[in-house]
Chains A and B, each alone.
Chain A
Amino acid sequence: MSSLILPAILSGLTMGAVYALVALGLTLIYGVLHIINFAHGSLLMLALYAVYFLNLRLGVDPYLAIPLVLPLFFLLGYALQRGIIAPMSQGSEQNVLLVTLALSLIVDNLALYFWTSNTRTVDIPYAYDTVEVLGAFLPFGRVVAFVAALAAAPLLWAFMTHTRTGAAIRAVAIEKRGAELVGIDVNHTYAICFGIGTACVALAACLLLPTFYVTPQVGYTFVLVAFTTVVLGGMGSLPGALIAGLLLGVIESLCGLFLGESLGQIGIFLAFILILLFRPSGLLGARARP
């Protein structure tokens, strides 16, 4: 068993990178704007289908689909917030919850209607390729996702801390009325933030599909762990989401190895409870607001 520990840790890190990627968008929307986006998993599913159909119909490689899918999903997120979530929620957080839940149900069932429940995977030449790291064989696609997560989190953090839009988002998150008073268009800023969060989900989809599958239910496979990642990392903390994602991946992998795969997720929720007990603001919550 001891010979499996290192490969399990490495495997957990690469899986954790996927969790972090899914959680990055959520931490922006959930952590910064305090919008509990129940439709996050459904948006991930939509993005996975977008990547899948680009590959199937036009032969676009999932990684090369990034420049196409990201802007598309930014616009989708922007439009959803401006056109549906904001008008229907009328500023009430409870309403936001219900609206995103309704969106999730509608999107999932439309996907089921149009694309059926068939499991779909992309046919790519590197689907079975591996990278050897310290004697462990890691799936190529997961290594790419790991590197991308390491790059995406600091880039997003830099955007939030060094650009006017990022400053506006932070201002709206901290003091909405004050931001309005200094001339920030709050509705536009909310929508920009939602758009960026949705684009992050699209990035996760491009990096996930080479090693995973897509079905109308696939969002649920990741969304719960993404919410856990956000809270564990600290609400709104991008570096926190990255660290928490990687940590959860490793915990899940090691628990799976030692306790059995059926009990692997116990580790995730045990870590979650411990963090809530001893550090309720999350790993980087209080110190690392973007």
Chain B
Amino acid sequence: MTRTFDRRDLLKASSATLLGAVAMPGVLRAQQRVVKIGVLEPLTGNLAYNGTQSAAGAKFAAEALNAAGGIKSMGGARIELVIVDAQSRPEVAASSVDTLVEAGVCAFTGATASALGLASSQAAAKHNLAQVFSIGTAEAVVDRGLPNVFRFTPGVNKCTSVALDNLKLLNEGAKGIIKTAAIVHEDGPFGSNMAKILNERLPAQGIKVVETISHPTPHRDFSNIALRVKASKADMLIPSNYLNEYTLMARALFQQRVDLKAIYSILGGAASNIKFVRENNEVAQYVMDCNHWYDPNKELSKALRQKVADAKLDLTYDIMCSYATVQVIADALERAGSDDRAKMIEALGASTFDSIMPYGPTKFVKGDNQASQPVNTQIRGDKIELVFPKKFATAEAVFPIPPKG
């Protein structure tokens, strides 16, 4: 079948083409309007697991924000993430900032480990580029007074302080059953800093520190560490290290038959990780952790949990924190109405955003979010339950570990 065009058809087609030609650039302009947010994470190297999880969290946040209409004050601009690999090496983290600047990001989030974040934020300061730390617990992150640094999650001082306050309550509730403690920590800035604070503050709670053991990352063998903890006869172990080391340590403790009344992690890499719970279920039971965690009751948290499950990923605190920091950056963009770096720093400094974390409105003072707080989780069965503060709790804390059998 053939069809011939008459003059009327031709006129219609010409008009449509003309209209299209006039309208298209506008449509294209609207489609192309993007605002770039950097994500600097260790996607390779020793911290690849945490970095990859964090990058996934940022992607979930960008997807959710774009689905909700993008940055409205900028005409619905879409968020585009520029994800760069810090390779788990501080010098690469620092040099990667140039990549982010060249890509035209307005701010960036990262970088899982304090050592990486310290290097990247120092480099970013030269470009007046804001870094919103998803995780960066070492106090040096904010102590340097860099105007481009915004630490969204709590630092090691606050985490340790809250952890000790909660421990005091738990121990009082258990009639002071914990009298001695051993500390096992990674030997980087965050672990060492934490061990120092614990050694200073635990005696005031009537808990004597009988052993403090540092180890490098990665570490191949935890047998000696388990033996030293066992020999110390500590009632409680306070570990603070990354996922792989935590897993090996937990196995070694079990194999060396170390009898503990409590394992109370502070920023423990595995103690709030569902993968650890799944793969080491027996040794993981009743392990408690004071760590970053979201408010599971918020609607956005529930949506994130579903998204993560659909993507067949494990919901870790890396995902939660990174998700929240992208939310915070997006809110600053919304208020700044511009992706200008200086305006972003100003907007972030005035942030009062309530994210998926159990913080309430952000309040940055000298780059540190005063509203941030860690929570206590506990491994129970095949779940990680939030046990402290009560306001967000999904289960009652069990302390000390009940006798076996």
Contact = CB atoms under 8 A, between A and B. Distances in A.
Given A213-B247, A261-B213, A137 B51 contact: no
Contacts of B49: 117-119, 215
A127 B216 contact: no
B84 to A, nearest CB: 15
Interface stretch (A2-10, A159-167, A170-178, A231-239): A2-10
A257 interface: yes
A4 B252 CA distance: 15
A222 B45 CA distance: 14
B309 interface: no
The residue among B187, B216, B225 with the most chain A CB atoms within 10 A of its own CB is B216
B244 A213 contact: yes
A117 B51 contact: yes
B68 interface: no
Contacts of A121: 247, 279-280
A253 B255 contact: no
A21 B263 CA distance: 35
A119 B43 contact: no
Nearest to B52: A117
A112 interface: yes
Interface of B: 43-46, 48-49, 51-52, 187, 213-216, 218-221, 223-225, 227-228, 231, 243-244, 247-248, 251-252, 254-257, 275, 279-280, 282-283
Given A11-B224, A121-B279, A261-B216, 11 more contacts: A11-B227, A117-B49, A119-B275, A121-B247, A128-B254, A130-B255, A139-B251, A222-B220, A253-B221, A257-B228, A261-B224
Contacts of A128: 251, 254-255, 282-283
A3 B223 CA distance: 14
Contacts of B223: 7-8, 11, 15, 139, 253
Nearest to B216: A262
Task: Report, nearest first, the 8 A-B pairs whose CB atoms are least far apart.
Answer: A117-B48, A261-B215, A11-B223, A262-B187, A117-B49, A117-B52, A130-B255, A15-B221
Interface residues of A, number: 38
Nearest to A7: B227
Contact of B244 (A8, A119, A139, A216): A119
Given A130-B255, A256-B224, A3 B214 contact: no
A262 B44 contact: no
Nearest to A255: B224
Interface in A1-40: 1, 3-4, 7-8, 11, 15
Contacts of A3: 231
B48 A217 contact: yes
24 contacts: A1-B231, A4-B227, A8-B227, A11-B224, A11-B227, A117-B48, A117-B51, A121-B247, A121-B279, A128-B282, A137-B257, A139-B251, A212-B248, A216-B44, A217-B45, A217-B48, A221-B218, A252-B221, A256-B221, A261-B215, A262-B187, A262-B214, A262-B215, A262-B216
Contact of B48 (A1, A8, A215): A215
Interface of A: 1, 3-4, 7-8, 11, 15, 108-109, 112, 116-119, 121, 123, 127-128, 130, 137, 139, 211-213, 215-217, 221-222, 252-253, 256-257, 260-262, 264-265
Contacts of A257: 224, 228
Contact of A217 (B46, B231, B255, B257): B46
Contacts of B252: 139
A261 B214 contact: yes
Contacts of B248: 212-213
A7 B213 CA distance: 18
A150 B171 CA distance: 49
B270 to A, nearest CB: 9
B220 A221 contact: yes
B251 A265 contact: no
A62 to B, nearest CB: 15
| Listed residue (B49, B213, B223) with the most chain A CB atoms within 10 angstroms of its CB | B223
B69 to A, nearest CB: 31
B39 to A, nearest CB: 15
A128 B282 CA distance: 10
A117 B44 contact: yes
Most chain-A Cβ atoms within 10 A of its Cβ — which of B45, B46, B48, B213? B48
B247 A119 contact: yes
Contacts of B275: 118-119
B200 to A, nearest CB: 20
A216 B224 contact: no
Contacts of B247: 119, 121, 213
Nearest to A249: B221
B221 A4 contact: no
A51 to B, nearest CB: 16
A256 B220 CA distance: 12
Nearest to A127: B251
A252 to B, nearest CB: 8
Given A128-B283, A215-B244, A137 B216 contact: no
Contacts of A213: 244, 247-248
Contact of A4 (B218, B224, B254, B280): B224
Nearest to A254: B224
> Which of B215, B221, B227 has the most A CB atoms < 10 Å from its CB?
B221
Contacts of A253: 221, 223-224
Contacts of A4: 224, 227-228, 231
Given A8-B224, A109-B44, A265-B216, A116 B255 contact: no
A66 B329 CA distance: 52
Contacts of A222: 220
Contacts of B219: 261
A255 B219 CA distance: 14
Nearest to B192: A262
Contacts of B280: 121
Interface-central residue, A15, A118, A257, by most chain B CB under 10 Å: A118
Contacts of A215: 48-49, 244
Contacts of A119: 49, 243-244, 247, 275
Contact of B43 (A117, A212, A221): A117
A123 B247 CA distance: 13
